[in-house]
Amino acid sequence: YSDFYWFWSFSEINRYMTHMTVQHGDICHTETLGFSGEGRAIRAMKIGSFDGTKPMVFLEAGIHAREWIAPMTAVYVMQQLIENSNSHDLLNELDFIIIPVTNPDGYEYSHASQRLWRKTRSPIANSTCIGVDGNRNFAYQWRYSANACSDTYAGLEPFSERETAIVRDVIAQYGDQIKLYGAIHSYGQYFLYPWGYAPLLIENWEDHDVAGRRFADAIFSVNGTRYTVGNGAIELYPAFGASDDYAAEQGVDISTTIELPGGGSYGFDLPAERIYPVVKETWEGMKELFAFIAENY
C-alpha cells in the first residue's frame, strides 16, 4: 500500500487527519487537544459516535520521538477504522481516540536534526540539556531524577510537560468510559501490562494477559512475528512515572504499552519497506484487542 512506503512527516500526518474528517465527517473528527512546548498543535482523531454510551479506546503514539513506526501504526489503525468498511461494525460498539504524535517537537527534531532523539524539546532550568522523557513524566510512582541530560530524565515534577498533561487531561475528561489505554512504542515486540514501576502484578492482570495473548496470537498468524506478553517491569525493565501505570491507576481497565518490532542499525530506524508489513500485522492484533474490549466491557 503506497501510503506506507515512507515515514510521514508531522505535517503529512496532520494533512491526512484533516483529509479524513473532510471525507468521512459522519464517523470521525479531529480535535486539537492543546499545544506542545514549542507550540505545535497536538491533535487527536476521534472515531465513532461519541454518544457517551460506548466503551472507549484511547491510543497514544509518538511520545518517544525516534520511534517512528509508532505514529505510522496509529495512522494505519485510523485508516482501517475509517476507510475499511469491514471494521465499521466495531464503530457500533466502541469509540476511539487516537493521538498519533504525542510529542511533535521531538518528532520533528528526530526528522530534521537528530535521528535518535527521544525526549520532548523543553528547556530545563539550570541545565544546558534539553527535554524530558514523556514516559517518565506521569504522576503515578513518579521519581525525581538528577540528570537532566539523561534520555530518561523525568522532569522537575509530574506533568511538567504540556504533552503529558494533554494525555492526563484526556484520561480525566472521559474517566470511566475509557476501557483500553494503549501506548504505542518501539521496539522489542512486547505487550506489557502494569505495574511497570516494579515487578508487581495489577489485580486484573489475568484480563490483561488474555487480551495480550489475543493480540499476540493474531499477529503471529500473519507472518510469524512473536510477541512477549507480560508485566512491564518483569519482561522489560521497571520504569517510574510511565503512562501505562498512570492510566491503570486512574481506573482504565486494560492498560498496555505495546513495543512494536525494531530494525535498522539502532532498532528505532527500521527501513521504510518494513512499515507496511509491521502496520498490517499490528492491525490484526489491534482488531482482536478491540474485540476483547467490546466483548468484556
- x-or-dash pattern for Zn ion, window 55-94, by CB under 5 A? ---------x--x---------------------------
* Nine-digit cell string for 254: 486494560
3-class DSSP state of 44? strand
User: Which of Zn ion, ligand 0X9, none is residue 105 near (CB under 5 to 8 Å by kind)?
Assistant: none
With respect to ligand 0X9, which residue has the nearer C-beta, 3 or 207?
Answer: 207
With respect to Zn ion, which residue has the nearer C-beta, 81 or 258?
Answer: 258
Q: What is the spatial distance between Cα 249 and Cα 194, in angstroms, rounded to a whole number?
A: 9
Cβ atoms of 155 and 242 within 8 Å: the answer is no
- Phi and psi at 99, nearest 5°, equal -105, 110
Contact region with Zn ion (CB under 5 A), list: 87-95, 183-191, 212-220, 280-288: 183-191
With respect to ligand 0X9, which residue has the nearer C-beta, 38 or 151?
Answer: 151
Q: Which residues pair with 267 in a beta bridge?
A: 263
Query: What stretch of H or E contains 294?
Result: helix 275-296
User: Which of Zn ion, ligand 0X9, none is residue 196 near (CB under 5 to 8 Å by kind)?
Assistant: ligand 0X9
136 binds Zn ion (CB under 5 A): no
Query: Which one among 40, 162, 185, 287 touches Zn ion, defined by CB under 5 A?
Result: 185
Minimum distance from residue 133 beta carbon to ligand 0X9 (Å): 7
Q: What is the spatial distance between Cα 297 and Cα 292, in angstroms, rounded to a whole number?
A: 8
168 binds Zn ion (CB under 5 A): no
* The amino acid at 263: G
40 binds Zn ion (CB under 5 A): no
Q: What is the spatial distance between Cα 113 and Cα 65, in angstroms, rounded to a whole number?
A: 12
* The amino acid at 141: Q
User: Which of Zn ion, ligand 0X9, none is residue 36 near (CB under 5 to 8 Å by kind)?
Assistant: none
Q: What is the spatial distance between Cα 249 and Cα 243, in angstroms, rounded to a whole number?
A: 10
Residues at the contact surface with ligand 0X9, assessed by CB under 6 A: 64, 67, 135, 185, 192, 196, 232-233, 236, 238-239, 242, 244-245, 257, 259
Q: Which residues pair with 230 in a beta bridge?
A: 192
Minimum distance from residue 257 beta carbon to ligand 0X9 (Å): 4
**3-class secondary structure for 190-251?**
EEEECCCCCCCCCCCHHHHHHHHHHHHHHHHHHHCCCCEEEEHHHHCCCCCCCHHHHHHHCC
| Catalytic residue status for 273 | no
Which of the residues 161, 259, 281, 288 is marked catalytic?
Answer: 259
User: Which of Zn ion, ligand 0X9, none is residue 108 near (CB under 5 to 8 Å by kind)?
Assistant: none
User: Which of Zn ion, ligand 0X9, none is residue 245 near (CB under 5 to 8 Å by kind)?
Assistant: ligand 0X9
With respect to ligand 0X9, which residue has the nearer C-beta, 87 or 135?
Answer: 135
Question: Which residue's CB comes closest to ligand 0X9?
Answer: 196
Cβ atoms of 294 and 287 within 8 Å: the answer is no
Q: What is the spatial distance between Cα 295 and Cα 297, in angstroms, rounded to a whole number?
A: 6
Minimum distance from residue 4 beta carbon to ligand 0X9 (Å): 21
The site for Zn ion (CB under 5 A) is made up of 64, 67, 185
Query: Which sequence positions are flagged as catalytic?
Result: 259
